[in-house]
Amino acid sequence: MDRIRVGLLGMGVIGEQHAAALHELRDEAELTAFTGSSPGLAASAGWGEAAHVARDALLGRDDVDVVVLCTPSDQHGQQALAALEAGKHVVVEKPFTLTVAEAEQVAALAEERGRQVSVISQRRFEPEHLAVRAMLDAGELGELRLARTHVHWWRDAAYYASAAWRGLTASGGSALDNQGVHNIDLLRWLAGPVEAVTAQAATVAHDIEAADTFVATLSFAGGALGLLSITTATPPGFPATIALNFDRGEIVLGQGEILSWDHDAPRPAGTAAAERTSGAAEPMAIGIGGHVNQWRDILASIRESRPSSVDAAEGVRTVRLSAAIALAAQTGRLVRPDDLR
């Protein structure tokens, strides 16, 4: 089996995680080229032979089948379009894009060019989330009535001072776009489409332009209601959670584990915490298990010419929900995600 050849834009702390995940799958994939100011990270992840090149050179290489974007959030949309124009499959780190319009543009070009676009949402691939989603699909958990997610993390002043974009809304530095996106995606994936949103936002703990705290109420298409709170202003930082309340009980999911199972359906087997990771206070304390699992799905989707589990269409849906929360907080009005373009 020929290995799928990957080029990585942005070899930094996130890029190194992708390089390490690909090394776990080195029988299936090969990192052939990368960009970035820290070339030693490729070697430390096991890819000492990969070429360190400029961005335009990477997109033009014949030995790159897939481009993975580990670059600043506000560059994702245009870089994804450029990679698709170059005939490459694309993998985009979170967030997919910062606007619905850009997300839809990327999705449309991918379909036009017959290329795969995948959005990194590695937490979907953690065993407890896969197990609960399978039970939901099978109708084993009953009627969902309330869904909640809380991302109560802490980032100190040094974190925001270390990179200017981290304090700017337009660069994706808000707690919503930067820290909250994974749980927004998970909540939508588990609880279903969101029909309407109300929200508030504030900057309560940091001297930055972007909001560091968001709260929102959600109305799901299936009839359930939802609550969301995302912040980087709660020291010392706490693992993110998702709680699902059904007519038959409650399930609370943490980061890498099931925190409680008070439901009459049997707790799924094989969901013991194998890799408890958080990011609650330390941004890079997240492990690579989910990335390995998602890359395995991405590589299989390319070989099989099928959409990956988190494809461009899924990415658009999550961007639309995030944008609705931001707009509701900005305007004080109820916003329907499906109205956003």
The pLDDT tens digits of the residues spanning 308-329 come to 999 999 999 999 999 999 999 9
Q: Is 221 helix (H, G, I), strand (E, B) or coil?
A: coil
pLDDT for res 232: 99
- Take residue 87 and report the two structure tokens written for it: 């005939």
**Does one domain contain both 63 and 145?**
no
pLDDT for res 280: 62
Provide the H-helix boundaries in 118-156: 127-137
Q: Tell me how many domains the chain contains.
A: 2
Any domain includes 230: yes
pLDDT for res 286: 65
Nearest by Cα to 221 from 337, 328, 310: 337
Q: Which residue has the tokens 């993975």?
A: 68
pTM for the model stands at 0.94
**Does one domain contain both 23 and 157?**
no
pLDDT for res 283: 59
Averaged pLDDT score across all residues of the chain:
95
CATH number at residue 253: 3.30.360.10
Residues paired with residue 218 on neighbouring β-strands, in sequence order: 197, 226
Q: Which has more confidence, 192 or 287?
A: 192
pLDDT for res 276: 54
Any domain includes 331: yes
**Does one domain contain both 128 and 272?**
yes
pLDDT for res 152: 98
Task: Compute the distance between CA of residue 153 and CA of residue 227 in angstroms, rounded to an integer.
Answer: 17
Q: Is 106 helix (H, G, I), strand (E, B) or coil?
A: helix
Nearest by Cα to 255 from 233, 281, 232, 234: 281
**Does one domain contain both 207 and 234?**
yes
Any domain includes 287: no
Instruction: Determine the average pLDDT of the residues in 232-256.
Output: 97
**Does one domain contain both 183 and 301?**
no
- Take residue 310 and report the two structure tokens written for it: 């988190």
pLDDT bin (cut points 50, 70, 90) of residue 1 is low
Span 83-132, pLDDT tens digits: 999 999 999 999 999 999 999 999 999 999 999 999 999 999 999 999 99
**Does one domain contain both 114 and 186?**
no
Whether cis (ω within 30° of 0) applies to the bond prior to 268 is no
Task: Compute the distance between CA of residue 82 and CA of residue 104 in angstroms, rounded to an integer.
Answer: 15
- Greatest mean pLDDT among 4-13, 265-274, 275-284 lies in 4-13
Q: Which amino acid is at 185?
A: D
Task: Compute the distance between CA of residue 119 and CA of residue 125 in angstroms, rounded to an integer.
Answer: 13
**Does one domain contain both 155 and 244?**
yes
pLDDT for res 282: 63
Length of the chain: 341
Provide the H-helix boundaries in the chain: 13-24, 40-44, 55-59, 76-85, 100-113, 127-137, 157-161, 175-178, 181-191, 289-304, 312-331
> Residue 74 belongs to what domain range?
4-121+292-311
Nearest by Cα to 313 from 142, 112, 106, 157: 106
**Does one domain contain both 36 and 162?**
no
pLDDT for res 291: 97
pLDDT for res 287: 81
**Does one domain contain both 299 and 271?**
no
**Does one domain contain both 150 and 106?**
no
CB 5 within 8 A of CB 16: no
Any domain includes 133: yes
Span 17-34, pLDDT tens digits: 999 999 999 999 999 999
Sign (positive/negative) of CA torsion 112, 115, 117, 122? positive
Nearest by Cα to 253 from 146, 127, 128: 128
CATH number at residue 28: 3.40.50.720
pLDDT bin (cut points 50, 70, 90) of residue 270 is confident
**Does one domain contain both 237 and 164?**
yes
**Does one domain contain both 145 and 30?**
no
Task: Compute the distance between CA of residue 326 and CA of residue 212 in angstroms, rounded to an integer.
Answer: 12
pLDDT bin (cut points 50, 70, 90) of residue 284 is low
For the ranges 29-33, 62-66, 193-197, 269-273, the lowest mean pLDDT is seen at 269-273
pLDDT for res 298: 99
pLDDT for res 269: 87
CB 175 within 8 A of CB 226: no
Nearest by Cα to 314 from 170, 167, 133: 133
Instruction: Determine the average pLDDT of the residues in 61-75.
Output: 98
CB 286 within 8 A of CB 278: yes
Task: Compute the distance between CA of residue 271 and CA of residue 103 in angstroms, rounded to an integer.
Answer: 33
- Take residue 128 and report the two structure tokens written for it: 């407890």
